[in-house]
Structures are given as structure tokens and as C-alpha cells.
Amino acid sequence: MRLPNTSIFALSICSLLFLSSHHPKETVLDSNYLTDTTNVLLQEWTGPYGGVPAFDEMTVEAVKPALEQGMAMSLEEIDAIANNSEEPTFENTIVAMEKAGEELGRVFTYYGIYSSNRSSPEFREVQQEMAPKLSEYSSKISQNEALFKRIKAVYEKAQQTPLEDDQQRLVELIYKQFQMNGAELDEEKKQRYAEINKELSKLYTQFSNNVLADEEGYVTYLSEDQLSGLSEPLVKAYAKAAADRGKEGIYAVTNTRSSMDPFLTYSDERDVREKVWRTYYSRGDNGDEHDNNKIIEEILKLRKERVGLLGYDNYAEWRLQDRMAKTPENAMELMNAVWPAAIARVAEEVEDMQAIADAQGDDITIKPWDYRHYAEKVRQQKYDLDSDEVKEYLQLDKLREAMFFVAGELFNYDFTSVPDGKVPVFHKDVKVWEVTDKTSGEHIGLWYLDPFARTGKRSGAWATTYRSHTTFDGKETVLASNNSNFVKPAPGEPVLVSWDDATTFFHEFGHALHFFSSNVRYPTLNGGVRDYIEFQSQLLERWLSTDPVIENYLVHYETGEPMPQELVSKIKKAATFNQGFATTEYLASALMDMKLHLTDPENLDVDQFEKETLAAMNMPEELVMRHRTPHFGHVFSGEGYATAYYGYMWADVLTADAAEAFAQAPDGFYDKELADKLVKYLFAPRNAMDPSEAYQKFRGRDAQIDALMRDRGFPENTEAGAVPRRDRKPETGRNQ
């Protein structure tokens, strides 16, 4: 049984939910619970495909009692395991824990939908109330002394007489998890540890809700004379956004990236661009009741105090010990190797943009709200590449078909649309497909797609599972979803997206394929190492620009004609264009994440620290971090990416290196032999195999950093070699 992260549902783009990975099964209930099992959120999933969530029956009113009942049932199961009079064994301790908590796992599926896809003021009240209770629940498990004694006994026995490989890894992961969460502390420290977790759970929820409030509360409205430069489909989408808010006849740029980004790229109205830019990058930083700066300061203090109880100097040191990087120094080494080349490229990009502005007589100096706009002009001048023209060949429905094609070629999967009404959904926009094996017809799972932005849905794009594959208690099929925030078009209009958005769509689908291809026995092994799990999805992005996809699915939305070869050549020629901007805005956030957790948080002024740190890094003034600190949900809505945002770069080293392997294969990106190795070693094992070992089995060696530099068009760092490797076995950590 994995301990629930009480804020995991509030994580931002590409966050993965690993709370309930085994399929609910029939449970014999104590008589005390019989009267409470009518709560739909606790009930066994019924219907087709091995049972599916009753999304059409869920209510906010059911969330609190379901959570409370689920926690009580789970703790009863845990107590039974902890107090078992028999000698601790793998079966009666570790396997028993893997089976526990199924009812609560079902509740968390619905909770995640309300948190991420259908939030409301009513739900946020429940969320705020339940966060500390969920933290207390987690502490009751992680600090259960009798339970940990049994886990430790199984662990020590396995060190003397190793179990099967996946069982051995499972024992080590669970033992390490408990140890890192204070299982060996004395009673006084355990109590403080639990108190800190409880306080943090409240702060994480508050942080997340503050960002969501600013995304919902700030809208930039436009009149017809402020639409210069915008395409017709974009204008129609902005008109619909305004109409949805009761503002017929005008236009609305909402406070989300999917709405903001194209406006900054195409709008000719510089003053409005600045307003939209400031509104977006000020989320959580407006000096009002939704300001997050003081919350961040308190989070950092509590995190440092908590790991101090375990004997660690800082949060990063504690967090990274079980990641691929192992230490903050290794993570910083990678980021610092790339940073100089990134900001140097920004200087070149700004010079090109300023030259165009000067030639046009615009009489401006490039500012952050100008970057996207003039970068597009440089793209057109240097590569004769018009992003608006490219969008005409990027229809959302055709991109989905392209992803299905790639999944068929690499994974042998077939996707068939499930008729509306056969499977319950939580919003009318959600569509469902059945996934089967192309050869055998075997059912693999269901894929849910929730593509459009709306009020109450958090920004960004992400993937999650409602049920993960396991085989230890009967084979379980996968229920996975992808969630995006594309601007919903006017009725009858196609959804046209940018190349970047198309890439993100493929990226998130990569996570879904990682879920579907899982071949593990135990639920915990469906988790992942944070600086590794982005690798598989980043790698799948590369198939967007392969010839079969371009020739068959990137077709004009009006004529149906394939993308002309001339335009394809321009796209590929411009592949490294604007990498200064893309790499720098990301790396600035990753470096800030690490530096915030390495500094002393006492008397910390977050706003001042951000400014001074960026200045010391020589951050170009023409752009800003991808995620400014006050709305950095990856890091402060929970702990999944805290001191781990660097992981996208770490994963990109693997991605670039693996992509070169495909590029050099006899049949390129559709080479069957290499695709089989991809699935066997990089997708199917999930966390049942050490990531470094898995990559070596695929590539025959460790990944090389220079592949990343080549991939981004940067000068190669001749001093950089392979990424540092993790040891085969997890460290035992520091004990008190």
C-alpha cells in the first residue's frame, strides 16, 4: 500500500498520480461499516472492462465521508498486518500491504478528478478541511512502529537470502520509503514530524487553490479593434471564451498558458501583450488574499526542519538520495553544464529580434512580452516558417490519430472509440477509447481524453491512471487518461494547435503508453523515479516529426492535403530554433527550485531571493522563468517535483541519447528490433528495475550528455560525459 501524498492531486504539467494502482476487489467488511457502504465513492467499480469509475454518480457531498470511511477501513487493515502474531514474511507483510487500502484508493480517483478537472468553491472547502486529516492518516501508517518492525525484519532477511528480483526491489523501496519518512525516529521527533506534515498539507492545498483562483479570477477582455495579428480560429476561440463568461460580442484571453501563449505570439497590440503577460506571470504574486510568497517561505522552513529531524542538512539532500541524480551536486552539475550555452543562445536570439524591430521602425527594446512575438518574425525571416501556417496542418483529432498510429507501430496497440454512454465520464468533453493488442485482440485498458480548458480545471497538461496494471492478485487492465487545456473552438470549427502544443500532446500520451505497457506484479512498482519517468514521454515526442506521421496525419484542415515537403523541410531546419528561450526559461525554474531548497529559509524574502538569484545567474532580462516561484505548482502544491524539476533535463539527456539510437537504426524510428527493446526495457518494467540498469540494457551503455547538446544545437561540452549513475541498491539513509 502506498502512502497517499495529500497534495498529489494539486501538482502541475506532466504530474503523474500513483495512489491507487491496483484494481478494487470485493472486500469483506466489518459490521461497523455495513451502513456506510452506500457511498458511491467507496463502492466496487462495476460495468464493462473489468469495472469503471462511476464518474456520472459522484458528488462533492460524498467526498468527505468517503475519505473518512476509507481511511478508517485502511487503518484497520494496516493494524491487522502490524499486529499479526506470525513471523514476518514477504507474503504476510509486504504483499498484505500491497492489497490494503483499495476502498480508499477508489475514493482518491474521484478526489483527483475534483481537484484537477472539476474543482469548485465547495470542493475546495472540503479539500482544505481534509488535507490535515489525510496527513494524519499517512503519519499513522509511516510511523506505525509495529508495522515498520515487520517491514525491517523482511528487509533484513532479504539481504541475507535475496528474493526474486521484483520482490527484492519492492521490499527495498518500501523499507526506504518508511525510513525516509521518519519510521526510525524517537517518539518526540515522530510527533513533530507528523505535525510538520499536517501543517504542510494545509499549505500545499492553500498554495494550489490560490493559483487556481488567480487563473479563474483574471481575464483580459479585448474589443474588436484589439485583434490585429490574430488568426480567425484564434479570434473565434477568444470570442467563445468571452461568451462563456457572459460577455457576448467581445473577446477574452484567459489566464492560462494555452490562451496566453498564442496571444503573445501573434498579437500586434504591444500594450495588451504586456497586460496579458503581467497578468499571467503574476499569478500568486498580487499582494492580495491569494498571494503565495509567505506560504512559500513557511513551506521551505517546515521542509528544512522536517529533514533536519532525520539528520540531513537540507531538503534537497534528503529528497535526491533515491533519484537517479542521487545528490543535489550531480543535478546542479548537469544544469550548470547547459546553462551558459542556453543564455548565450538567448543573446543571439534577442539580437536577431531587435534587428527586425529596428528594421520595422518599431522604436522598442525587446521585453519579455515581445519575445514570442518577434521570435515568430525571426522564424519567418530566417526559415521562412510561419507558425500560423504550420497550425493549419495540426488538427487535434488528426494528431490523436497519429498518436494511435505510433502506438500501433511501436507497442502493437489498437484504439477503438467507445460509444458515448457506455462508460461514465465526468464531463461531456471527455471521450473514451478501448486499447487492445493488435495481434491477439486482448483487452489492455481504456484511454480517457479530457482535452479542453474550462473553469475549475487546473492549467497545463498531465496524465494519470484510475487503475494500473498488476498481476500479483489477478491481472488488472489499465484505466489511463490524458488531460489538456486546449482552447475550445466555436461550434463546427477545428481545433488547430501550435507545434509546441502538438509536441506536448505526444508527450503526455507517452505517459499513457508507459501506463498501458506496464508489466509488473505489485502496485508499488508502478511508481517511478522522478528524474526518470519523464524520459519515456519526452522520447515519444520525437515521433511527431517522423515521415509516416507527417505524410498521413499532418493534413490541411480545409483541403485535407498533406503538409507540403517544403514546409516539412522548413520545420526540420528550424528544429533548434528558439532553443535559447525554451532551455533558459525551463532551466531558470529548475535552478531556482534547487537553490531555494539549498539556502537557509530563515528570514527569507522569496521575491527578493528570486530577483537576486536570477541576477547572479545572469538571467537574460528579456524573458522570465517558465514557472515563477509564486505559482510554481510543481514544487509548492506538493512534493512530487520539489528539488526535482531538474528531472526534465536529466530525462532529456536520456531522450536525446535514445533518439540517436533510433535515428541510427536500420529502419529508423520504426525499427522493430529497437522498438521491442524500447518496450521491454524502458516502458514495461516501470519501477521494477533500476532505471540505470534498464537504460543500459536498452542502449548497451550509459547515456551521454553530449547528445543533449547536439540535440539543442548548442556547442558540445567536451568535459561532460555520462550522467552520474545510481547504485543498484537504494542507500539506507541516515538514522537517528
Query: Residue 615 and residue 433: Cα distance in Å, rounded?
Result: 49
Q: Are the CB atoms for 682 and 310 separated by under 8 Å?
A: no
Of 7, 285, 293, the C-alpha closest to 128 is 7
Q: How many CA atoms lie within 13 A of 219 on its CB side?
A: 20
Q: Are the CB atoms for 12 and 627 separated by under 8 Å?
A: yes
Beta partners for 220?
Answer: 253
646: its cell numbers: 531538474
Strand, coil or helix: what is 253? strand
Q: Are the CB atoms for 189 and 131 separated by under 8 Å?
A: no
Q: Are the CB atoms for 594 and 318 separated by under 8 Å?
A: no
CA angle 153, 686, 401 (to 5 degrees): 160
- 229's torsion region: left (phi>0), alpha (psi -120 to 50) or beta? left
**Burial environment of residue 680 by CB neighbours within 10 A (0 to 12, 13 to 18, 19 or more):** middle
Active-site pick, 172, 409, 476, 508: 508
Q: Is 172 an active-site residue?
A: no
User: What's the length of the chain?
Assistant: 736
What angle, rounded to 10 degrees, do the helices at 579-598 and 293-309 form? 60
For residue 61, give Cα distances in angstroms to 57, 105, 110, 123, 187: 11, 18, 12, 8, 37
Radius of gyration of the chain (CA): 25
Query: 387: part of which helix (H) or strand (E)?
Result: helix 387-391
What angle, rounded to 10 degrees, do the helices at 368-383 and 257-266 form? 60
Q: Are the CB atoms for 88 and 150 separated by under 8 Å?
A: yes
| Longest Cα separation, the chain | 83
DSSP output for 417-485: EPPTTTS--SSTT-EEEEEEETTT--EEEEEEEEEE--TTS-SS-EEEEEE----BTB---EEEEEEEE
Query: Residue 390 and residue 502: Cα distance in Å, rounded?
Result: 11
Catalytic residues: 508
